[in-house]
A and B are shown apart, each in its own frame.
Chain A
Amino acid sequence: MKHTILKALSNPLALSGFIIIAAILLLAMFAPIISPYDPDAIDVKAILLPPSSEHLMGTDGLGRDVFSRMLYGARISLLVGIVAVGIATAIGVVLGAVSGYYRGWVDVFIMRMVDVMLSIPTFFLILAVIAFLTPSIWNIMIVIGLTSWMGVTRLVRAEFLSLRNREFVMASETLGARDARLIFSHLLPNSLTPVIVTSVLGVASAVLIESGLSFLGLGVQAPQASWGNILTDGKEYIQFAWWLSLFPGLAILITVLGYNLLGEGLRDVFDPRSSKKL
């Protein structure tokens, strides 16, 4: 395990991704200490001020400090991304394992369900659900999680199907190992690495979806700050206040880039066949 982590961090892609994510994580964790102002404090004397030494990223239409709001927004992005993907991965692993292990009609049923979910334009589906629930950060996480488990399901199923015919699994089965032992000590640990890669890449797209929803006004609601809803303000004031649009977008870009780099780097480490390519 220690060996794997060291190997992963010696990959330049994975390392740069890891550093980016770790930096954002630290900024988000220590947001209350770092942020110079209360992110929700309205100051009518400081409306739409450009970036300066006093307000590093300027102020918004209500005179709130954009830098402080960005720091608190980082918390939302990280939380939504990780929890949503956690939900999707949990569903995907369970369904994929059941499908790949038991096969038969259970497998057929689950795979048809995957087909159905994959055929509905995903963003439409998310939009339809979100609009009918009260928009809140918890609902967003659950909805993104419930609409993005299909990839993991297919992946785990494929791994299980191929692992089941491998000699060490058959040997264990012949020796009388029960289902639970086969699944939890042989099949699952051996299918974990591609799941990790997919999950890390999944966080990147969850962050993008959250910011898009918040931008449309269906995500994190004001006054709670999120990068997406700071951008909504940015759109309103685009003629007078470029800083309201520039910084949150950059933050999303860097975060998503970080997860993508980490994911692709890990893929190289875990799957040496593909690592020759990059």
Chain B
Amino acid sequence: MLKYVLKRLFWMVPLLIGISLISFLIMHLAPGDITTTEAGFNPKASEESRQKLREMYNLDKPLLVQYGLWLERMSTLDFGHSFASHQRPVFWQKTDDKGNVTPGLIQEALPITLLINVLSLGLIIIVALPLGIIAALTQNRLPDRSITLFVFIGFAIPGFWLALLLMYWTGVVNDWLPISGLHSLGFENMSWWGQLLDSIKHLLLPVFISALSGLAGIALFVRNGMLEVLHQDFVTTARAKGLPEGKVIFRHALRNALLPLITLLGLAIPGLIGGSVIAESIFAIPGMGKLFYDAVLMRDFPVIMGILTIGSALTLLGNLLADLAYAWADPRVRRGVMQ
């Protein structure tokens, strides 16, 4: 097992190098850099400091040399500093000579996006599992038909549009929920209970919106998986030996139907991270999507590279975890992995 994990981790290195190479080349497709874009041009920055920036990131050198230098820095996990005027570290906080700590951009944004994604993953599982099971057990009857209809609409509905309508309905017409941001004004002075309530109110819509399409997908997946399993011999055997129906469904059928779900959840990670861009920009949430969107508009190369690299690394780790979880849950796969 350990050997398998190590092998997989080792394989991630060339994959990540490939990913970063593609990202790097794409970023430099169009001419221009931070010093030529209007948004990134800081009037306070002198020609000298801009030259320093150019030198620091070697923007005057050939592309492949630049990439080599980036790789060299990455080998010590140094993601560099943002090109923006605040020059904050891209990834993790840094302490200067005087002991002032500057927090990293990704360090601040990643937990927010992860929190939303974990919550929506939880929501997906809590809602989609029962829906899928009910649909499978009532195949072709009314509950199944309505759930299938919901699935098709959930797939087709543009999340940002639903977000807009819900924002309008709950925030503008009815004043039930705050329309944007993560915290209300005066968040620091609230009791922990008030802070929790405030956070829940702010997170409700973003979590629901980012869960919606995944919810539809997983419900359909569980339904189809259950139907497939319910027609297999071991389920017939379980019924034939007189097990109560509940035990047949939850002990025998469901467990087997859920196995492929583990892989599916692993594959869903890049979509969840990428999908955060629109939701975060609508609800003004300072997560990875917002950070990336702003960085892209400013051609803030170190931040873009940092986010693409970390996002991809998280994806690869997620896939590895999914495969391990699958092996843990299914002895047949485990035996295959060992060999």
Contact = CB atoms under 8 A, between A and B. Distances in A.
Given A112-B15, A121-B270, A253-B156, A129 B308 contact: no
A124 B164 contact: no
Contact of B148 (A123, A212, A253, A278): A278
B23 A257 contact: no
Contacts of A116: 15, 18-19, 22
Interface residues of B, number: 52
B296 A131 contact: yes
Interface in B292-311: 292-293, 296-297, 299, 304, 307-308, 311
Interface residues of A, number: 46
Nearest to B155: A260
A249 interface: yes
A192 to B, nearest CB: 24
A133 B296 CA distance: 11
A124 B273 contact: yes
Interface stretch (A97-105, A181-189, A237-245): A237-245
A57 B162 CA distance: 19
A122 B292 CA distance: 13
Which of B27, B155, B304 has its CB near the most chain A CB atoms (within 10 A)? B155
A106 interface: no
A128 B153 contact: no
B168 interface: yes
Contact of A245 (B27, B161, B293, B315): B161
Contacts of A208: 158
Contacts of B168: 238-239, 242, 245
A116 B25 CA distance: 14
Contact of A119 (B139, B277, B312): B312
Contacts of B164: 231, 234-235, 238, 245, 249
A109 to B, nearest CB: 11
B157 interface: yes
B158 A212 contact: yes
Given A118-B270, A119-B270, A212-B158, A125 B152 contact: no
Contacts, number: 141
B146 to A, nearest CB: 14
A38 interface: no
A120 B308 contact: yes
Given A132-B30, A204-B156, A120 B165 contact: no
Interface string B214-243: 000000000110011000000000000000
Nearest to A127: B296
B331 interface: no
Interface string A111-147: 0110111111111110111011100000000000000
Contacts of B260: none
B15 A119 contact: yes
B41 interface: no
Interface in B182-208: none
Contact of A249 (B27, B161, B277, B307): B161
B16 to A, nearest CB: 8
B128 interface: no
Which of B161, B271, B278 has its CB near the most chain A CB atoms (within 10 A)? B161
B161 A131 contact: no
Taking chain A's interface residues, is the majority helix, strand, or loop, or is none over half, making it mixed? helix
A204 B299 CA distance: 30
Contact of A253 (B161, B224, B292, B296): B161
B172 A260 contact: no
Contacts of A248: 161
Contacts of B228: 277
B122 interface: no
Contacts of B282: 235
B208 to A, nearest CB: 16
A274 B167 CA distance: 39
B27 A128 contact: yes
Contacts of A278: 148
Given A122-B270, A235-B164, A133 B156 contact: no
B111 interface: no
A216 interface: yes
A256 interface: yes
B130 interface: no
Contacts of B296: 127-128, 131-132
B277 A127 contact: yes
A261 B152 CA distance: 8
A129 B311 CA distance: 16
B281 interface: yes
B101 interface: no
A133 B28 CA distance: 10
Contacts of A249: 158, 161-162, 164-165
B152 A257 contact: yes
Given A115-B15, A127-B296, 18 more contacts: A119-B15, A119-B19, A119-B312, A120-B315, A121-B273, A121-B315, A124-B274, A124-B277, A125-B274, A125-B308, A128-B27, A132-B27, A212-B160, A231-B164, A238-B164, A253-B156, A256-B155, A257-B153
9 contacts: A117-B22, A120-B315, A123-B274, A124-B292, A131-B296, A231-B164, A245-B165, A252-B161, A253-B157
Interface of B: 14-15, 18-19, 22-23, 26-27, 29-30, 139, 148, 152-153, 155-158, 160-162, 164-165, 167-168, 172, 223-224, 227-228, 270-271, 273-275, 277-278, 281-282, 292-293, 296-297, 299, 304, 307-308, 311-312, 315-316, 319
